[in-house]
Structures are given as structure tokens and as C-alpha cells.
């Protein structure tokens, strides 16, 4: 049985002397026992640093960070399933994010205590200010590849949540389509845009088979979103996106591509579903991403590792930039 948040919190208090961060919870929930978590922390750089601080022996400082390395087995991930199974998966994800949008809209986007409903009034400014970073990241990435915002006529933001980044992207691009799977999140985003007198955003709900991508576009962006879908849905969303991307268009997105111990088969997943409203984190392997891109006539411009997930001793998260050739 996956670890509970209280289990994770107890281990962190005893071994590291601190509360887990939101990313810590996401990183370790899939472990099967407290013993597994204890063993993982025993080999972590943070625990090593604490242990060394109590040692009387003077040791030279080290700047190395424990990572997964290069000798990794292929993850057993089932990413192609029957249409009727895809419908069940999408219904589950939709129900989860609708519930989160109704109960904890801001926290579900950035899972810090400051953004819980009872605290959000005091931190709303900081929450929305954080979206500017993502918008600047998009523009900077485009400029690295000799593109400018004004060159793009139709931009899609996939997984807009409550509009945290949407309002900043709308300042950079002349036309923005912001898509989310949750009507409750979209309602918050639309209200925010209206209050700021932003009129160049079109909000769409992500439903099969289009996932809100109804018309073609020349730029697509998604961050800390795809990972909350089971692998077959991630693959389907990426396939739809790349089929709708215009020739010469750019797609950039963040996605976890490896997690030590992670596996996914749809039969086991459906036999033991998580409760509605539980934030799940999934992976799709790089090879699957590249195959989807190749089938759609897209080539990679850039693939980099980011810190979008948990400790690098367990996770690999990538930021991809693709361009469609034809």
C-alpha cells in the first residue's frame, strides 16, 4: 500500500528533523513501506550532510549530488490501451481535478501550505506573481532558437489551472488558448483575466478526443501538468498536440521521464484506484516521447533536465522543446 502523508512526515521528522516539502510528498507517496523510505533517505545527500555534521573528523567538502546515473533499467510502463480504458482514465482525472478545483484550487496548482484556502488571502499576490517566471521561460527558450513572441499567431497553454501563468503569457502573445481539464479551475482563470481586462485569452475544457485542441496552433506550452495523468493519457495528449501543431511550430513542455521503482500497468491501476482528489504523479519514458514526436514529423531542438520533481537520486524530469518540420 502506498505511503500516507503522515508516514512520510514522521520519517522526515525523525531522520531529517524537518517537515517534508510538497515535492517530497509527491516523490515518496508511491513507495510501499516506511522501510523503503528510510533506506532511500539513508542514501540521500541531505542525510549524509546531517550525519557528517556530527562527526569530529574533518572531511573535505563535496559538491557532488546523488543522481540516478546511467545504468538504468527500462521502466515497465504501459502507454497504449483500448479506447474504452482511456475514457475511464480520463473520467478519473477529470473528477480528481474538478474536486481539487472546487476545494483547493490554488493549492492544487502549487502545493504549499500558504496556498490552502484558509491561507490564500494572505498569499494570493505571491501565488500569481510566480506565474511570471514560466512566461519568461517560454520567451527565453524561443529566443535561444531565434524566435520572437510576435512570430506566433496562436499559442496554446495546456493545463492553465487558475490562470497563474496565463495572464503573463497573454501579455507576450497576441492570441492565447488556455486549456484545462477542470471547469472549476477554468472559472477561476476566466474571472482573473476579466478582472485584469485581459481579452486575448480563450479558455477551453480538455475533453476527449481533442483535449481542447480544436484548431491548429504554432506554439504549445505545458509545465507541471502532464505528470498528473496516467501514461496512456500523457501519450494521447502529446500525440494530439503534435498532430495539431503547424509546420514550423514549437512545442515546449516539462515531463518526468524516470522514477526509480515506478511502473504502470492499467489493470493494476484500475484495480486499486486512488481516491478522487488525490494528486498522482506519473512518468512517460523519453523513448516514448521521441517516438510520438517522430511519428508526427517533429524533431527535438532541446532536451534538458530540470528540478521539477523530487530528489535527483530518484527522479528525472525533462524540459523538451520540439519543432514540427512538415
> Mean pLDDT score of the chain, rounded to an integer?
88
3-state SS record for 78-146: CCCCCHHHHHHHHHHHHHHHHHHHHHCCCCCCCCCHHHCCCCHHHHHHHHHHCHHHHHHHHHHHHHHCC
- Indicate whether 36 and 141 sit together in one domain: no
Strand partners, 77: 264
pLDDT in tens, 257-303: 999 889 999 999 999 989 999 999 999 999 999 999 999 999 999 99
Q: What is the pLDDT of residue 55?
A: 41
Among the candidates 13, 34, 53, a domain finishes at 53
- Indicate whether 92 and 45 sit together in one domain: no
Number of domains within the chain: 2
- Indicate whether 226 and 318 sit together in one domain: yes
- Indicate whether 24 and 127 sit together in one domain: no
Q: Is residue 168's pLDDT more than 70? A: yes
Answer yes or no: is 60 within a domain: no
pLDDT band at 30 (very low <50, low <70, confident <90, very high): confident
Answer yes or no: is 77 within a domain: no
- Indicate whether 270 and 170 sit together in one domain: yes
Identify the CATH number of the domain in which residue 162 sits.
Answer: 3.40.50.150
For residue 296, how far is the Cα from the chain centroid? 22
Burial class (CB in 10 A: 0-12, 13-18, 19+), 326: exposed
Q: Tell me if residue 45 falls in helix, strand or coil.
A: helix
pLDDT band at 50 (very low <50, low <70, confident <90, very high): low
Q: 106: domain range? A: 83-324
- Indicate whether 36 and 90 sit together in one domain: no
pLDDT more than 90, % of the chain: 71
- Indicate whether 289 and 167 sit together in one domain: yes
Answer yes or no: is 72 within a domain: no
The answer to whether 218 touches 241, Cβ cutoff 8 Å, is no
What residue has cell string 479558455?
203
- Indicate whether 190 and 233 sit together in one domain: yes
Q: What is the pLDDT of residue 307?
A: 73
pTM of the model: 0.81
Angle between helices 5-15 and 34-42 (to 10 degrees): 40
Answer yes or no: is 39 within a domain: yes
d(CA 148, CA 215): 22
Q: Which of 69-78, 115-124, 315-324 has the lowest mean pLDDT?
A: 69-78
pLDDT band at 180 (very low <50, low <70, confident <90, very high): very high
Strand partners, 258: 316
Answer yes or no: is 153 within a domain: yes
Cell of 314: 530518484
Answer yes or no: is 69 within a domain: no
pLDDT more than 70, % of the chain: 90
Q: What is the pLDDT of residue 5?
A: 79
Cell of 19: 517537515
- Indicate whether 24 and 134 sit together in one domain: no
- Indicate whether 87 and 49 sit together in one domain: no
- Asked if omega into 138 is within 30° of 0 (cis), the reply is no
pLDDT in tens, 68-104: 777 889 999 999 999 999 999 999 999 999 999 999 9
Answer yes or no: is 44 within a domain: yes
Strand partners, 303: 320
Cell of 15: 531522520
- Indicate whether 35 and 129 sit together in one domain: no
Answer yes or no: is 270 within a domain: yes
Q: Which residues contact 32 (CB under 8 A, 6 or more apart)?
A: 1, 2, 3
- Indicate whether 27 and 127 sit together in one domain: no
Query: What is the side-by-side strand order in the sheet with 176-180?
Result: 201-205, 176-180, 155-158, 217-222, 245-259, 315-324, 298-306
Angle between helices 286-295 and 231-244 (to 10 degrees): 30
Q: What is the pLDDT of residue 61?
A: 43
Amino acid at each position: 500500500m502506498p505511503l500516507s502523508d503522515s508516514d512520510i512526515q514522521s520519517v522526515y521528522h525523525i531522520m531529517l528533523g524537518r517537515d517534508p516539502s510538497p515535492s517530497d510528498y509527491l516523490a515518496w507517496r508511491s513507495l510501499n513501506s516506511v522501510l523503503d523510505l528510510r533506506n532511500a533517505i539513508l542514501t540521500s545527500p541531505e542525510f549524509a550532510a546531517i550525519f557528517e555534521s556530527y562527526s569530529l573528523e574533518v572531511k573535505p567538502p563535496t559538491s557532488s549530488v546523488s543522481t540516478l546515473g546511467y545504468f538504468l533499467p527500462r521502466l515497465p510502463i504501459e502507454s497504449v490501451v483500448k479506447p474504452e480504458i482511456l475514457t475511464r482514465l480520463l473520467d478519473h482525472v477529470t473528477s480528481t481535478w474538478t474536486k481539487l478545483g472546487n476545494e483547493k484550487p490554488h493549492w492544487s496548482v502549487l502545493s504549499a501550505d500558504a496556498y490552502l484556502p484558509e491561507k490564500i488571502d494572505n498569499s494570493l499576490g505571491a501565488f500569481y506573481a510566480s506565474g511570471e517566471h514560466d512566461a519568461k521561460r517560454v520567451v527565453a527558450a524561443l529566443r535561444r532558437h531565434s524566435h520572437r513572441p510576435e512570430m506566433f499567431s496562436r499559442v496554446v497553454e495546456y493545463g492553465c489551472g487558475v490562470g497563474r501563468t496565463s495572464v503573463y503569457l497573454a501579455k507576450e502573445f497576441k492570441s492565447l488558448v488556455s486549456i484545462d481539464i477542470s471547469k472549476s479551475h477554468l472559472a477561476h482563470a476566466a474571472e482573473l483575466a476579466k478582472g485584469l481586462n485581459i481579452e486575448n485569452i480563450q479558455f477551453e475544457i480538455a475533453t476527449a478526443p481533442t483535449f481542447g485542441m480544436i484548431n491548429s496552433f504554432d506554439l504549445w506550452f505545458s509545465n507541471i501538468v502532464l505528470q498528473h495523468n496516467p501514461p496512456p493519457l500523457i501519450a494521447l495528449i502529446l500525440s494530439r498536440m503534435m498532430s495539431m501543431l503547424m509546420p514550423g511550430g514549437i512545442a515546449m513542455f516539462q515531463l518526468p521521464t524516470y522514477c526509480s521503482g515506478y511502473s504502470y500497468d492499467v489493470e493494476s491501476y484500475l484495480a486499486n484506484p486512488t481516491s478522487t482528489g488525490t494528486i498522482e504523479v506519473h512518468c512517460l519514458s523519453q523513448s516514448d516521447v521521441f517516438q510520438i514526436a517522430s511519428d508526427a514529423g517533429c524533431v527535438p531542438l532541446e532536451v534538458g533536465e530540470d528540478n521539477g520533481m523530487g530528489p535527483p537520486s530518484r527522479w528525472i524530469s525533462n524540459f523538451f522543446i520540439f519543432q514540427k518540420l512538415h
